Copies of this chain bind each other. A is one copy, B any other.
Amino acid sequence: MTAGKREVIVRAATELFLRQGYQATSTEQIAAAAAVSKQTVYSRFGDKESLFREIVLGVAATAEAFAADLTSSLADVSEKQEVAPVLRALARRYLAAVMDPQVLALRRLVIGEAARFPEVAAAYYDRSPARVLAALADGFGRLADVGLITVDDPRRAADDFAFLVLGRPLDHGMFHVPATAPSDAEIGATADHAVEVFLGCASRM
């Protein structure tokens, strides 16, 4: 069973990096947590930096799945449906996904190491937050084509929606460890309010 060791090491290192950060995690800790020797870690990954790169970029696959989910749920909206309920449900899922403690920890990790690993941070951004925003822009573009919403610039619309939903909770969550996940009630209230403002239902003038 020599093939699975790579996986075991990655899992152990991921957990330690997310909890303690890159620098505070030693290769010895990683080896111990994976129940292998340091030498095994080095023979598989070369050095600590390569292990870090592989982990961060590997985890980004989760975002791809979410983007696909999001795309399909916006593509399914027919002309007979109302958009508001669809957007409210989507906002709930989006907020819950991003406020997941593991996701928050990964964001903190990547941001904190952005000076040391600029290319990792940029790649993570493209594959995760930006990937979801692009899917959202795409979905809004289609809704606009069908005439279900009015949108000048789908990309700006996606930004507006995303940060109306995520802005405050995410900003708060980045600075608060351990992360306190919002309750379903809070998620619902924030999502509903965001959709209302996004659609311009309530003018403020």
Contacts and interface: CB of A to CB of B under 8 A. Distances in A.
Interface of A: 19-21, 23-24, 83, 105, 107-116, 118, 121-122, 124-125, 129-130, 133, 149-152, 156-157, 159-160, 162-164, 166-168, 171-172, 174-178, 193-194, 197-205
A91 to B, nearest CB: 13
- What's the dominant secondary structure at chain A's contact region? helix
Contacts of A149: 204-205
Given A107-B111, A149-B204, A150-B202, 8 more contacts: A19-B115, A110-B175, A112-B112, A150-B203, A150-B204, A156-B193, A159-B168, A166-B167
A156 B193 CA distance: 8
Residue from A115, A162, A172 whose CB has the most chain B CB atoms within 10 Å:
A115
A81 B44 CA distance: 67
A168 B163 contact: yes
Contacts of A159: 167-168
Contacts of A163: 163-164, 166-168, 171
Given A111-B111, A112-B113, A203 B200 contact: yes
Contacts of A193: 156, 160
Contacts of A113: 21, 112
B177 A121 contact: yes
Contacts of A114: 108, 174-177
A162 to B, nearest CB: 7
A108 B174 CA distance: 10
Given A125-B176, A171-B129, A175-B122, A151 B204 contact: yes
A202 B174 CA distance: 32
Nearest to A149: B204
